[in-house]
């Protein structure tokens, strides 16, 4: 059963975020993760938008998502 990791982040340093993004992408793939949503243009139809970046990553299971999050490969990137 699919499991989704939902992230809402405020990017304060675009250069640092670019380095993080490049480092984390292969680690996510190593644990079977697939990006479903990764930033992009936002249009608000109702309510307010806080300006934070949204990311949704699909994993095959909760265990795979937890494996990524707790992995020795991800630890130094966090």
Q: How many domains, the chain?
A: 1
* In a domain? residue 10: yes
- What confidence tens digit (pLDDT) does each residue in 5-46 have? 999 999 999 999 999 999 999 999 999 999 999 988 888 999
pLDDT at 51: 87
- Would you tell me how many other CB atoms lie within 10 Å of the CB of residue 34? 12
Can you give the residue range of the structural domain that contains 64? Answer: 3-69
Q: Would residue 45 count as lying in a domain? A: yes
In a domain, 57, yes or no: yes
Number of residues written out for the chain: 78
Average pLDDT over residues 45-51: 92
Please answer whether residues 57 and 5 qualify as being in contact, where contact means their C-beta atoms are separated by less than 8 angstroms: yes
Domain assignment of residue 76, yes or no? no
Q: How far is CA 6 from CA 15, 39, 76, in A?
A: 22, 12, 20
Which helix or strand (DSSP H or E) is residue 17 part of?
A: helix 14-30
Does 74 fall in a domain? no
What is the pLDDT, as a whole number, of residue 54? 92
Residue 21, both tokens: 């993004």
């Amino acid at each position: 059963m699919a499991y989704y990791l939902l992230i809402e982040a405020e990017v304060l340093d675009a250069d640092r975020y670019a380095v993080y993004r490049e480092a984390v992408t292969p680690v996510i793939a190593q644990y079977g993760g697939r990006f479903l949503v990764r930033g992009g243009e936002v249009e608000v139809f109702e309510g307010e938008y806080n300006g934070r970046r949204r990311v949704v990553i699909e994993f095959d299971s909760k265990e795979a998502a937890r494996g990524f999050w707790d992995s020795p490969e991800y630890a130094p990137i966090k």
